[in-house]
Chain A
Amino acid sequence: MYDLIIIGSGPAGYVAAIRAAQLGMKIAIIEKDRIGGMCLNWGCIPSKSILESVKLYNKIQKDALRYGVEGIDKSALSFNWDKAVLRADQNVKKLTQGIEFLLKKNGAEIINASAKIIDKNTVSVENRTINAKNIIIAIGSTSPMIESEIENLVIEPMDVFKPRILPDNIIIVGEGPVAIELTQAFSLMGKKVSMVLEKDNFMPLADTYLSNYMQAKLKKDRIKLFDNKGDVSIKDDYKDGVLRVGGEEIPCGLIINARHRKANSLSSDIEFELENDYIKVDENFETSVEGIYAIGDVNGKSHFAHIASAEGLFVVNRLNGVNEKIDLSKIPMNMYSQPEAAQIGQTESKLKEMGVDYKISEFPLSANGKAITENSGEGFIRILSENKYGEVLGVQIIANNATDMINEAAAYMQLESTVYDIAKTVHTHPTISEVFMEAGFEAVDHAIHK
């Protein structure tokens, strides 16, 4: 009898497993594919590795001479996808091995097999059953397949970062962070990329201000956006290297599936209540079956790895009597666009809807010294604060390293800080993070460098 069985070893499952083992629980973690799940093996980690390669390539091509680097023959310069993928694989291997090591070191039992839930305490695995007081479902999500009978035309999410010959014309289908990241990455490689939206929301959950900014940025970089107003159908819309979207014909050598993700299907003898095809959970992430929890993408609360991990920690802590609150609105969201975008807290439209008396304090990166030295003056910070006490209610950043910078905002929000606290926090100079202080000054009185 285990204390806890965790099904799935992505950022939700493996973090929960390590924590549970640390707390002395007897646990088993079941993984049918690779330890680390989507994020480590096919998502966050390989994509960021590739992105680094792409950015380096792009910088050498675009800026080398101007930066004072001579001797580069631009005509000989090319991007080798397979080598970039190899580097990404090495990074993935290093990290997933590290996680396997941590699981074992802490005493978690890893079972490499498919799992099926038999009853609220029983899981069937490898032709045997194992029992536990509690079960956590952390089986993640995937994008609904784009059906295609044409060989090598459509790439599903788990196959993106694999060696292949890339055609010149690439179409990304989908919305949100993954779709935008892939679109820009292939564009920076020199491909002609089009983004085809199936839903009308270009950046779901993001403040319109960020969303508009990114749309304008794509347009500026000559990346075409097409609105299909519905699912792309290869059978109906593709013919001889051309995809037809809303009357327009897009040259197309490759289609990458970055559709909005849906919960993976669970193998179970007992029924779980669902909500929009995700496993329904209460505020403690408990499913309709008592003692069984669902964390990460599978519960539909978010598709961010760090939120999945936070949910895992919350549930395990709670099973061990630690009752803390988890406020998803104080967890930041990040997007590895170029420049990066990040956001935390409420959006402006949400504040309006809530009837909050708020103010927005903005500071542009173009007035920041470090950003100028890095040739990255694109972007801004926006602080949304409530007028009475100055509480920071939301922060939005567009900057080359916005995904790192947003964590400062997360700390402010976790501590219920005010704009006075931000203004009072002296930042090192020169750094891009100084924009926090400037926007803080702006909120309290006036920015210095604006």
Chain B
Amino acid sequence: MRYIFKFPDIGEGLEEGVIVQWHVDKGQKIKMGESLVTMETDKVVTEIPSPRDGVIAARYGKEGEVVKVGSALVEIELEGSEVEINETQENKVEAVEEEGAGVVGTLEIASNDFVLSASKEGIGGEVQRNTKERKALATPVARAMAKDLGIDINMVRGTGPAQRVMKEDILNYSKEGSQKPAQAKSSNNDNILEERVEIEQMSQIRKTIAKNMIQSKHNAAHMSVFEEVEISELDRIRKKYKDYFKDENIRITYLSFIVKAVALALKKHKSLNAEMDIEKGIMMYKKYYNIGIAADTEKGLVVPVIRNADKLSIKEIALEIQILADKARDGKLSLDDMKDGTFTITSYGSIGGLFAVPVINYPQAGILGIGRISKQPIVKDDKLDIGLILPLSLSVDHRIADGGETSRFLNTVMSYLQEPVGLLID
């Protein structure tokens, strides 16, 4: 039996994704959960695991090509048993001819509400949920030609009997498609422009960043407050334990402490860990503390999340940061790694900058910016001393958090950082 695996909606309302890299070839054996392909969507670069055991019978799309949600990604020749066939019977859409030389396969379609989990768990049972979606009616030649020309046959209007997509429809569609860029290029202005600037197609991630930034600036009433905190004590502890965990390959960073401090401070100041739904007229105070860490990657800004940071030890947080940082660097963050953040930390100081006005990761209530740590003269016990100063910039959504509470939250964070022992006690 052939199983046609279609690109599932791995996010909320995702429409398409770009094939970054294939991990399987035609004829290759694959086990359930093993990675088929790396896809870049507007939210994430993620690996799509195989929902079944079997042999790859066909692969659709080349690296760099856009795949619509619901389009076939691979066909898997199942090493299946009768039992499996029976189980999925209800969910099958009519068997369809997939390609000229191919064999009739069984089509199973992920519904819109189906989110493919990044792990192996729970895949087997969930994949088969579907909606009634029909494959475009098309002639074999039209199909072969569409595949060859990289045309999504569902986008082509058929002029044959019963709106069947005919060869001619594909030819016309491909002509229309190729005419558009040609026209754009023919303009003189564009030619001059091309010499002076470098034009690049926006990546899905860049599109998402743009969309989210505007959404945040448009919807949230940004208000910022700046502070400096002296962290000599924190520095002393960090240095001490840095070597302590060296053997375990864990780097204890300032950030691990800050994450913990923020998580604990959020517990005390619930409006900073809240979300507002004006339409429903409700405030939602979250009782989980998932701290997003804005990360600078080659592809752009991504925000992986440390879940339940309030419950993790500093060592655990450090480890988590390390794992996420590695994934972010390799472009391997999954959607699971990035969702459900409740508050965000942006640590630009490691690169440079004392203060900033960070943009809230909407619809969260606040974002804390961490500036560059520097040694500065401080007055301690009426004496001049050398202090280690960490600049903090906090932006909040003033609709959600009032000024007083914002400052009180910042004070709490600062006190944890000044007296790290509090992190253990609270």
**Could you list which residues of chain A lie within 8 angstroms of chain B, going by C-beta atoms?**
324-325, 388-391, 415-418, 420-421, 424, 444
Question: How far, in Å, is A396 (CB) from chain B's closest CB?
Answer: 20
**Residue of A whose beta carbon sits closest to that of B104:** A424
A415 and B140 CA atoms in complex are apart in Å by 7
CB–CB B101/A444 < 8 A:
yes
CB–CB B100/A416 < 8 A:
no
At the interface, yes or no: B69 with Cβ under 8 Å from chain A?
A: no
With A325-B159, A389-B141, A389-B148 as given contacts, are A416 and B166 in contact (CB-CB < 8 Å)? Answer: yes
Given contacts A416-B140, A421-B140, 10 further A-B contacts (CB under 8 A): A388-B148, A389-B100, A389-B144, A390-B100, A391-B140, A415-B139, A416-B139, A416-B142, A418-B100, A420-B100
Q: Using Cβ atoms and an 8 Å threshold, which residues of chain B touch A415?
A: 139-140
CB–CB A391/B141 < 8 A:
yes
| Binary contact readout B96-116 vs A (1 if CB under 8 angstroms, 0 otherwise) | 010011000000000000000
A390 and B102 CA atoms in complex are apart in Å by 13
Q: Using Cβ atoms and an 8 Å threshold, which residues of chain A touch B234?
A: none
At the interface, yes or no: B78 with Cβ under 8 Å from chain A?
A: no
- Please name the 7 residue pairs, one residue from A and one from B, whose CB atoms are nearest each other, closest first: A416-B139, A420-B100, A416-B141, A389-B144, A391-B141, A420-B101, A418-B100
13 residue pairs A–B, Cβ–Cβ below 8 Å:
A389-B148, A390-B144, A391-B140, A415-B139, A415-B140, A416-B140, A416-B167, A417-B139, A417-B140, A420-B100, A420-B101, A421-B100, A424-B101
A418 and B167 CA atoms in complex are apart in Å by 12
Interface of A is mostly: loop
**Residue of B whose beta carbon sits closest to that of A389:** B144
A390 and B145 CA atoms in complex are apart in Å by 10
Question: How far, in Å, is A387 (CB) from chain B's closest CB?
Answer: 12
Interface centre among B97, B142, B144, B145 (most CB of A within 10 A): B144
Interface centre among A324, A388, A389, A390 (most CB of B within 10 A): A389
Q: Using Cβ atoms and an 8 Å threshold, which residues of chain B touch A444?
A: 101
Q: Which of B101, B148, B167 contacts A391 (CB 8 A)?
A: B167
A390 and B97 CA atoms in complex are apart in Å by 16
**Residue of A whose beta carbon sits closest to that of B138:** A416
At the interface, yes or no: B181 with Cβ under 8 Å from chain A?
A: no
A417 and B101 CA atoms in complex are apart in Å by 11
Question: How far, in Å, is A426 (CB) from chain B's closest CB?
Answer: 12
At the interface, yes or no: B300 with Cβ under 8 Å from chain A?
A: no
Q: Which of B97, B145, B159 contacts A389 (CB 8 A)?
A: B145
Q: Using Cβ atoms and an 8 Å threshold, which residues of chain A touch B148?
A: 388-389
CB–CB B161/A324 < 8 A:
yes
Question: How far, in Å, is A415 (CB) from chain B's closest CB?
Answer: 5
| Binary contact readout B261-280 vs A (1 if CB under 8 angstroms, 0 otherwise) | 00000000000000000000
Q: Using Cβ atoms and an 8 Å threshold, which residues of chain A touch B144?
A: 389-390, 418
| Binary contact readout B130-153 vs A (1 if CB under 8 angstroms, 0 otherwise) | 000000000111101100100000
CB–CB B140/A418 < 8 A:
yes
A388 and B100 CA atoms in complex are apart in Å by 12
Q: Using Cβ atoms and an 8 Å threshold, which residues of chain A touch B101?
A: 420, 424, 444
Q: Using Cβ atoms and an 8 Å threshold, which residues of chain B touch A424?
A: 101
A444 and B166 CA atoms in complex are apart in Å by 22
A420 and B144 CA atoms in complex are apart in Å by 11
Q: Using Cβ atoms and an 8 Å threshold, which residues of chain B touch A388?
A: 148
CB–CB B141/A417 < 8 A:
yes
Q: Using Cβ atoms and an 8 Å threshold, which residues of chain A touch B167?
A: 391, 416
Interface centre among B140, B144, B145, B148 (most CB of A within 10 A): B140
Question: How far, in Å, is A445 (CB) from chain B's closest CB?
Answer: 10
Q: Using Cβ atoms and an 8 Å threshold, which residues of chain A touch B139?
A: 415-417
Interface centre among B100, B145, B159 (most CB of A within 10 A): B100
A279 and B148 CA atoms in complex are apart in Å by 43
Question: How far, in Å, is A386 (CB) from chain B's closest CB?
Answer: 9
Q: Using Cβ atoms and an 8 Å threshold, which residues of chain B touch A391?
A: 140-141, 167
Interface centre among B139, B145, B148 (most CB of A within 10 A): B139
A184 and B167 CA atoms in complex are apart in Å by 41
Question: How far, in Å, is A228 (CB) from chain B's closest CB?
Answer: 44
Q: Using Cβ atoms and an 8 Å threshold, which residues of chain B touch A421?
A: 97, 100, 140
Q: Using Cβ atoms and an 8 Å threshold, which residues of chain A touch B141?
A: 389-391, 416-418
A391 and B143 CA atoms in complex are apart in Å by 11
A179 and B53 CA atoms in complex are apart in Å by 64
Question: How far, in Å, is A313 (CB) from chain B's closest CB?
Answer: 13
Question: How far, in Å, is B101 (CB) from chain A's closest CB?
Answer: 4
A424 and B100 CA atoms in complex are apart in Å by 9
Q: Using Cβ atoms and an 8 Å threshold, which residues of chain B touch A416?
A: 139-142, 166-167
**Residue of A whose beta carbon sits closest to that of B102:** A420
Question: How far, in Å, is B108 (CB) from chain A's closest CB?
Answer: 22
A324 and B161 CA atoms in complex are apart in Å by 7
Q: Using Cβ atoms and an 8 Å threshold, which residues of chain A touch B140?
A: 391, 415-418, 420-421
A266 and B197 CA atoms in complex are apart in Å by 72
**Residue of A whose beta carbon sits closest to that of B166:** A416
**Residue of B whose beta carbon sits closest to that of A386:** B141
A391 and B144 CA atoms in complex are apart in Å by 9
Question: How far, in Å, is A27 (CB) from chain B's closest CB?
Answer: 25
A390 and B99 CA atoms in complex are apart in Å by 12
A388 and B142 CA atoms in complex are apart in Å by 12
**Residue of B whose beta carbon sits closest to that of A416:** B139
A390 and B159 CA atoms in complex are apart in Å by 22
Q: Using Cβ atoms and an 8 Å threshold, which residues of chain A touch B142?
A: 416
Question: How far, in Å, is B310 (CB) from chain A's closest CB?
Answer: 61
